[in-house]
Amino acid sequence: MSARKKINTKEKVWAVIIAAVLIFVSAGYVAAQSVSGFNDFYVKSNGTNIRSCKSTSCKIIGKLKRNAILTIRARSVRDLSSWIKISFRKGGKQYTGYISKTVLALVPHKPVVDQKTSPSSKPTLSGIFTEDFSGGFPGNKWVISSESSGSSQPSPQIDSIVGNPAPSLAVPFSSGGSNIILPGKKVTAEVNPFSSSNGFSVSVDVRQPDTSLETGELGTWIRNFKFTVKHLTNKDAYASVEIKPDAAQINYMISREYIGGGASYVTAPYMPDANFHTFKFTVDADGNAKWLRDGILKNSFDGFPTGDYLVSFSASGRNLPIYSTSTASYSHNVDNILVTVP
């Protein structure tokens, strides 16, 4: 039997939404909008509790398995009521209970066995600098530093479950519920610079977190993950990609000098998902630079300075929206960093 298990979709739980009308409150007026279609929503974790009433303090009357399907009249998790009323059978009897919408997602969660690493499943990277996070971290490749003061800065950790394939590095966001958005920990390959004299390429696989479960003050919930290729001595010579899942945009920057016209900055909309995507920055011997996402050109610029470069990355922003009651912890996952030269 293949080690890659198929997601079990045999267990379907039919959810009953008490109201088929969603109420939206914005800018001082109230409007009603009906929801026309059904969608399949997936339970994120094994052992998800079914409660006897709409509170985490209510009695647990049942459990749901990961990837159990609830077919609900709603377009997204954010459209759902905070608690979902469901009917289920247990021991031959029919029961009614409630689950929190925070346990649901629009995409199935891959089983752990899908992403566990076997000796042959992790590809061998070949370049002047490689990192697939299958060894110790930070080891002798990386230096971790704080970009701001404060105690709410969790450190990156090896994620043995998620990867492309697993393991990968989970880069978490800052915690806290204030309006102050703190930068997180920065990870830098300080001891591994490389020369651009003949050109080079840097690629990295990045997976953003699935935050579709969350609601709250989303306007103040701005988070980002930033990956940077920077010159050792010239602070104005760098290239960066900045992923902003809550704004559904990615910023691609190529900078050569701090003067008018000395940089190219492109903001591209994208559809957030929970998959790995490959970001690649290339420079040829003439200084012609490009950013690509999954092989598609996103930004280009000429005159990129020659010199010694290194890579760094960090996540900043709040882990959860203000006033969120969730206890979830979100991270960007980084994998397969590769630097090559001609």
Distance, CA of 7 to CA of 32 (rounded, Å): 36
- Output the pLDDT for position 121: 60
Domain boundaries, the chain: 12-105, 112-340
Q: Which CATH number fits domain 12-105: 2.30.30.40, 3.50.50.60, 1.20.140.10, 2.20.25.90?
A: 2.30.30.40
DSSP 53-88: SSSTTSPEEEEE-TT-EEEES-SSGGGS-SEEEEEE
Give the global pTM: 0.64
E strands along 160-288, which residues? Answer: 168-172, 183-188, 194-195, 200-207, 224-231, 238-244, 249-255, 263-269, 276-283
Closest to 286 in 3D by CA, of 303, 307, 263: 303
Instruction: Determine the pLDDT at residue 90.
Output: 72
Which helix or strand (DSSP H or E) is residue 114 part of?
A: helix 112-115
- For residue 114, the model assigns a pLDDT of 35
Burial 161-194 (b: 16+ CB within 10 A, else e): bbbbbbbbbbbbbbbbeeeebbbbbbbbbeebbb
Rounded CA separation 309/177 (Å): 36
| Same CATH fold assignment for domains 12-105 and 112-340 | no
Confirm if 67 and 43 have CB atoms less than 8 A apart.
yes
| Contacting residues for 246 by C-beta, under 8 A, at least 6 apart | 211, 218, 221, 222, 223, 317
Q: Is 112 helix (H, G, I), strand (E, B) or coil?
A: helix
What was the pLDDT predicted at 8? Answer: 42
Domain 112-340, what fold?
Jelly Rolls (2.60.120)
**Residue 247: strand pairing partners:** none
A 10 A CB-CB count for 247 gives 16
| Per-residue model confidence as pLDDT tens for the chain (342 residues) | 444 334 343 344 444 433 332 222 222 222 223 334 677 888 877 778 889 999 888 888 888 877 788 888 877 777 788 898 888 777 778 888 999 888 888 777 654 333 333 444 677 777 899 999 998 899 889 999 876 555 557 789 999 999 999 999 998 876 554 555 556 788 999 878 999 999 999 999 999 876 555 554 444 556 789 999 999 999 999 999 999 887 789 999 999 998 878 999 999 998 878 889 999 999 999 999 999 999 999 999 999 999 999 999 988 776 666 666 666 677 889 999 999 998
Which pLDDT belongs to residue 27? 23
